[in-house]
Homo-oligomer: A and B are copies of this chain.
Amino acid sequence: MIRFNCDYSEGAHPRVLKKLIETNLEQTPGYGEDEYCEKAAQLIKDECKRQDIDVHFLVGGTQTNLTVVSAALRPHQGVISASTGHVNVHESGAIEATGHKVLAIASPDGKLTAEQIQTAYNDHFNDATCEHMVQPKLVYISQSTELGSIYTKAELTAISETCWKNDLILYIDGARLGSALCAENNDLSLHDIAQLCDAFYIGGTKNGILFGEALVICNNRLNEDFRYLMKQKGGLLAKGRLLGVQYLALFEDGLFYEMASHENKMAMLIKDACIAKGYGFLTPSTTNQQFPIIPDEVLKELEKDFEYAYIQRINESTSAVRFCTSWATNKDDVDKLVAAIQIA
């Protein structure tokens, strides 16, 4: 069985492992106050071309999201998110468990628009009884989104300006930021992103390390006492240098982009096979998640050899599914899937 169901089926890239092994017996301070974390943070600052930002390393995405939201919001404030946003559907109520409502906005492609955000803002503040409703304050978007789509520079700039104008906090979930940055139609750099939002994270778990997300806080006000929050939410790793070491491996020689490019390339092969077969897609995606709409009888064949994620029924005989590639996805395995699609 070959797994295309998600992008965290394997361990870490050998160069990442190597660095962990090399540093294994060194003694360092705990909780991320070691030199590896410092160096990795510096590399990220350089990559973002901003020295005035703060970098924190956390273990996972849900943890990062809930810690940022908890640090950023007062109790009556909520999170604007696409209805498909990870915080809205796939975190078991993590945001609500910190006391905050997710104000979901319907979105067919997983993206929010500046207009939608402005409307949500206006709808709240123009209402005479707004004190009786959750105040929108933080805008959560994902790059790439949960449906594989990405924001263009123009779109993100428009969102950023809307947030700035209305004193909204813009936070980007970058669990799959690598794949987004390396997408063929991407026109955003890490520098752009660091200029346009208040905070974002550079996902490691889904891009070739054992675990880890690098949270970048671009708006200094959000950074105040942030480590207290990390500790409180269980997100301050004792042997924190493990995160620093891994991010060092990601950014010291471009491995981060190398792996993301690979997974995108593998995903495009699958995409092309589906297009050739005439299959439609739930959403257009140039990243490592592909959501083709495939006849159920074909799926029945495919699932003999391949794992995929079932997304939703489209009509009585076809379904949308997800094929996901990773840094470790093997070209041979993709070829097998492509062949299976072709003959189906």
Q: Tell yes or no: A134 within 8 A of B by CB.
A: yes
What's the least CB distance linking A72 to chain B, in Å?
Answer: 10
Q: Tell yes or no: A45 within 8 A of B by CB.
A: no
**In the bound complex, do residue A134 and residue B96 qualify as a contact, i.e. CB atoms below 8 Å apart?**
yes
**In the bound complex, do residue A60 and residue B238 qualify as a contact, i.e. CB atoms below 8 Å apart?**
yes
Within 8 A of B (CB), among A71-128: 71, 74-76, 78, 89-94, 96-102, 128
What's the least CB distance linking A236 to chain B, in Å?
Answer: 7
Inside 8 A of A30's CB, which chain B residues have their CB? 6, 8-9
Q: Tell yes or no: A304 within 8 A of B by CB.
A: no
What's the least CB distance linking A316 to chain B, in Å?
Answer: 17
Q: Chain B CB within 10 Å — which of A14, A132, A236 has the most?
A: A132
Q: What 0/1 pattern do residues 219 to 249 of A give for CB contact below 8 A with B?
A: 0000001011101111111110010000000
CA distance A210 to B23 in the complex (A): 12
How many protomers of this protein does the assembly include?
Answer: 4
Q: Tell yes or no: A20 within 8 A of B by CB.
A: yes
CA distance A91 to B3 in the complex (A): 38
CA distance A31 to B130 in the complex (A): 13
Provided the pairs A26-B10, A92-B133, A133-B92 are in contact, do residues A74 and B225 lie with their beta carbons within 8 angstroms? Answer: yes
**In the bound complex, do residue A96 and residue B92 qualify as a contact, i.e. CB atoms below 8 Å apart?**
no
Q: Tell yes or no: A152 within 8 A of B by CB.
A: no
Inside 8 A of A134's CB, which chain B residues have their CB? 92-93, 96
Q: Tell yes or no: A2 within 8 A of B by CB.
A: yes
What's the least CB distance linking A100 to chain B, in Å?
Answer: 6
Inside 8 A of A61's CB, which chain B residues have their CB? 238
Q: Tell yes or no: A338 within 8 A of B by CB.
A: no
Closest 5 pairs between A and B when the two form their complex, measured CB to CB:
A63-B234, A11-B24, A76-B228, A92-B232, A92-B231
